[in-house]
Amino acid sequence: LHLSSFRMSCPCSLFRVVFLSLFFVFFDSPLLVFNFRGLLSLLRKLKRSDDEARILVLGLDNAGKTTILKKLSKESIDTIMPTQGFNIKSMVSDGFKLNMWDIGGQKSIRPYWRNYFDNTDALVYVVDSADQERFLECQTELAKLVAEDKMAGIPVLIFANKQDLLSSKPAEEVAEELNDTLEGRDFHVQAASAKKDEGLSEGLEWLVQTMNQSKKATK
Ligand code: G3D
Ligand code: MG
């Protein structure tokens, strides 16, 4: 009886061990293209040249992040859907290759922002200046971001977006209200209207100049 139950259970548990090992190897391997987590971390770890910068574009949902990136890369803004995951746009400015990561800002996916913090060179934070109701939420999310160790010392560009709307808070007011949150670091609040393509290239220029200066300072 003993022997037969051994024979019955042994191949079964052996099979389970082999199956589970293959399962973990498959789903935990950073090299498999179908493994999303692995692919993401692989993308993050790819070696960059000195003239390449990784920029995170964050902000509450509906702030205008995707519209800004589309305008900066001269794409049409006719068909923009809420971003569920992330978009990457690469552009060249003043000899810098900017890899801009636009990550969805819905409340339910904000906890995943931290998965993108590694090796970030700059933060672009987009504010919907007309969204008075969620301004405090927008400020709180920014405060959480800049308190992160991986964000320490990196320049922050704020786009006070939607300045074309009459109900928008002027950029100076946005700057005043975010001043305490950003105190002690390189930051710039840029008045912008993604819809009208105003203020976007000026903001990017500041960012590239600031990154250039810090690159020279660390050489
Ligand atoms: P997000 O990526 O931050 O979530 P989106 O934001 O780029 O998807 O934009 C959200 C909405 O804001 C879009 O409107 C978009 O047209 C609008 N928007 C973006 N920038 C501006 C701006 O500068 N001015 C105005 N007036 N609207 C802007 P819809 O209607 O498509 O949801
Ligand atoms: Mg979006």
- C-alpha span between 38 and 16 (Å, rounded): 24
Indicate which residue's Cα is closest to atom 11 of ligand 1. Answer: 62
SS3 content of the chain, % helix, strand, coil (to 5): 45, 20, 35
129 lines ligand 1 (CB under 6 A): no
pLDDT score, position 18: 60
**Can you list the positions of beta strands (E) in 25-103?**
52-58, 86-93, 96-103
- C-alpha span between 71 and 164 (Å, rounded): 15
144 lines ligand 1 (CB under 6 A): no
Give Cα 49 to chain centroid, integer Å. Answer: 20
The pLDDT tens digits for 6-30 are 333 444 555 565 665 555 555 444 4
Instruction: Provide the pLDDT confidence category of residue 35 given band limits of 50, 70 and 90.
Output: low
Ligand 1 pocket test, pick from 71, 80, 124 with the greatest ligand atom count within 8 Å of Cβ, gives: 80
At residue 197, φ and ψ (nearest 5 deg) are: 55, 50
The pLDDT tens digits for 36-94 are 566 556 555 555 666 899 999 999 999 999 999 999 998 888 888 888 888 899 999 88
For residue 80, which atom of ligand 1 is closest to its CA? 8
